[in-house]
Every structure is written in structure tokens, then in C-alpha cells.
């Protein structure tokens, strides 16, 4: 029997590539120009202008096509070995940029620059920043830090651990499509339905993995889980509610409430007990997010390496 054979996608380069890509994100963050996700988004926008129809079926086909394209690119990247997987990982992760924006918002608030904080928070949330006072800015930023810790860091790594580079880029495509066409607006209510539902499914496990890590990393697992059990289900998102409740419990603050979006006003349930978040709580949320990202990256690398060993042993 062939003792050195390893199935495609389960070679040691996958684990090394994940480690290098996560390290690159931690050091360099997202490139300011020519980011592959931005290029992907531009291609999606151009194709939407051609094929758009107010139809769930058309939207489902559109979503499936672009997810398949991303998975195919990921497959090619994975076959290129360590460098290809590292590039895919660096492309898919966005946790470092997320935390830097959070710190910058806190800096602006500490300096009394409310307008600057509003400009910065507009890059994180879909709500109208002009209607946000300082507590509103802090709440919006903490909620975004919580949700995007899962979406931009933990979820890509979960899919990378399970599938490798194709999972990484397929997930990033799903998340990007949801951000672009998954809104509950009249235009995307039908066309974006599949993108939004696919994103919900893709994040079911990662959101709960994020909550587990938050509970451990915060040192308050009991409080975090009580908050999740009591409050998360009331949130309109099956995944955002879990991670936002986890952060609220870990930080001892209250999130949720009246939220003004471009498509309308939503009365969100309250999550957690305590005061409204402050700039100091925003900094604490950023620090917690960084810890969660480190744990999830190390875990993904170890899981991927473990898959390599098991597959190798099974073909010996």
C-alpha cells in the first residue's frame, strides 16, 4: 500500500498556510487598495446589473454561481500548497482591521470628536450614523465588533478547519453576498433571500463556537451562558443574537434597542444587563475580540494538522 499518499486538501501545507495567513492578517490587516474581496464585490455588482430580477429563483442561482466560483478559486489555492492557502486565509480574514477601527472609534470619542467617530462607525454598521449620540455610537460599534468577530474571523477559520481553502473562500463569498444583497429592502427581499438564508446556515456553527470562546476568554462563562440562554433567541438573527449576547454578558453591558437603518426602524430586544456601553467598553470589546481571534486561529491550525495526521494514518 502507498504509505505517503494524502488526499487533496489534507496535506501539511494546509495547516502551515492557515498559520501564515492568520499571522499576515494580524500583522498587516486588510490592504487599503485592491483587496480581493473588493474585487469580488465589484464583479458581483456588475453581474447583478445584468441578471437582476425580483425573483427568489434567480437570486438563488446568482448566489450559487458566485459561491461556486469562490470555492473553485479556493480549490486552486489549496492545490498550490502553503502559499496558496496562506493567500486564501489572508484574503478571507478581516479581524485585525475590525479591531483597529474599534480602537480608532474609541480614540475619537475620548478626544471628543463625535463627528469623526460617526464617520468611522459608518464603515462598520448599516444604521444612520448621523442619528447616533456617543452611547449610540458605542453600542453600534460593540454590536458590530461582536458580530464581525464571528463573521470576519471565527467563521472563516471554522470552514478552513473543516474543508480547507475552498471552505475559506466559499464562506467569504457567502458573507459578502449577504452584505451586498441580503438586506430586507424592497429590491432584495426576493433576489437576496437565498444569500441571506445561506449566510444564516453558514454561520450557525461558527456563531456558537464564537460564543464558546467568548465564555472561556472572558473568564465569566456562567454569566455569558445565562445571558445567551435568556436573551439570544429574541434577536431577529439566529446568529448575531448569540454572539452579541455573549459579548454583552462578558462585558457587563446592555446592547440592543431602537435601531435606525436605511430600510427602516427596528426595535431590537435588549441583550445583557447593565449600563449602556462607553468608549472604555468598546476598548474592552476589541481586546476580547483579539483574544477570541487568537484562540480560533490556533484551534483551526491544530484541527487542520490533526486531520492531516488522521488521514495519513488511515492510508498507511
What per-residue confidence (pLDDT) applies to 267?
Answer: 76
- Using the structure block, give the residue that is written with the C-alpha cell 463625535: 114
C-alpha angle with apex 158: 26 to 293, nearest 5 degrees? 30
CA atoms within 13 A on the CB side of 49: 5
pLDDT of 2 above 80: no
- Look at residue 6 in the predicted model and tell me its pLDDT: 43
What pLDDT shows up at residue 212? 97
- Look at residue 100 and tell me whether its pLDDT is greater than 70: yes
Is 19 inside a domain boundary? yes
For 243-272, write each residue's pLDDT tens digit: 999 999 999 999 987 776 655 667 778 999
pLDDT band at residue 47, thresholds of 50, 70 and 90?
A: very high
Q: Give the residue-averaged pLDDT of 119-133.
A: 84
Q: How many domains does the chain have?
A: 1
Q: Which one, of 172, 105, 174, lies nearest residue 143 by Cα?
A: 105
Quote the CA–CA distance of 198 and 142 in Å, as a whole number.
Answer: 25
Question: What is the percentage of the chain residues whose pLDDT exceeds 70?
Answer: 91
Residue 210 included in any domain: yes
Helix, strand, or coil (residue 174): helix
Cα Rg for the chain, rounded, in angstroms? 20
Q: Is residue 6 part of a domain?
A: no
Q: Is residue 3 part of a domain?
A: no
Per-residue DSSP letter, 271: B
Q: What is the pLDDT of residues 11-46, one digit of tens each?
A: 577 899 999 999 999 999 988 777 899 999 999 999
CA–CA gap between residue 34 and residue 55 (Å, rounded)? 32
Q: Tell me if 159 is assigned to some domain.
A: yes
E strands, the chain, are 258-261, 264-267
Q: Is the pTM of this model over 0.85?
A: yes
In sequence order, the 6+-apart residues with CB closer than 8 A to the CB of 185 are 262, 263
Range of the domain at 202: 12-314
Amino acid at each position: 500500500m502507498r504509505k505517503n499518499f494524502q488526499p487533496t486538501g489534507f496535506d501539511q501545507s494546509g495547516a502551515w498556510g492557515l498559520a501564515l495567513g492568520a499571522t499576515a492578517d494580524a500583522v498587516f490587516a486588510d490592504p487599503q487598495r485592491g483587496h480581493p474581496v473588493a474585487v469580488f464585490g465589484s464583479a458581483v455588482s456588475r453581474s447583478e446589473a445584468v441578471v437582476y430580477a425580483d425573483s427568489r429563483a434567480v437570486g438563488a442561482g446568482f448566489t450559487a454561481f458566485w459561491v461556486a466560483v469562490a470555492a473553485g478559486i479556493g480549490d486552486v489555492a489549496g492545490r498550490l500548497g502553503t502559499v496558496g492557502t496562506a493567500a486564501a486565509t489572508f484574503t478571507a480574514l478581516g479581524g485585525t482591521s475590525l479591531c483597529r477601527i474599534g480602537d480608532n472609534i474609541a480614540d475619537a470619542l475620548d478626544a471628543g470628536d463625535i463627528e469623526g467617530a460617526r464617520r468611522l462607525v459608518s464603515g462598520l454598521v448599516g444604521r444612520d450614523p448621523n442619528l447616533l449620540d456617543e452611547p449610540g455610537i458605542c453600542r453600534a460599534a460593540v454590536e458590530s465588533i461582536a458580530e464581525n468577530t464571528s463573521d470576519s474571523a471565527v467563521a472563516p477559520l471554522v470552514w478552513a478547519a473543516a474543508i480547507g481553502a475552498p471552505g475559506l473562500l466559499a464562506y467569504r463569498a457567502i458573507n459578502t453576498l449577504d452584505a451586498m444583497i441580503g438586506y430586507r429592502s424592497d429590491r432584495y427581499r426576493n433576489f437576496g433571500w437565498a444569500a441571506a438564508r445561506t449566510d444564516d446556515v453558514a454561520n450557525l456553527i461558527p456563531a456558537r463556537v464564537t460564543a464558546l470562546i467568548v465564555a472561556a476568554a472572558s473568564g465569566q462563562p456562567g454569566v455569558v451562558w445565562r445571558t445567551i440562554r435568556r436573551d439570544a433567541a429574541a434577536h431577529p438573527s439566529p446568529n448575531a443574537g448569540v454572539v452579541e449576547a455573549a459579548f454583552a454578558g462578558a462585558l457587563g453591558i446592555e446592547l440592543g434597542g431602537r435601531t435606525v437603518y436605511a430600510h427602516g426602524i427596528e426595535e431590537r430586544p435588549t441583550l445583557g444587563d447593565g449600563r449602556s456601553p462607553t468608549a472604555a467598553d468598546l476598548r474592552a470589546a476589541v481586546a476580547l475580540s483579539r483574544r477570541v481571534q487568537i484562540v480560533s486561529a490556533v484551534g483551526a491550525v491544530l484541527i487542520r494538522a490533526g486531520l492531516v495526521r488522521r488521514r495519513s494514518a488511515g492510508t498507511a
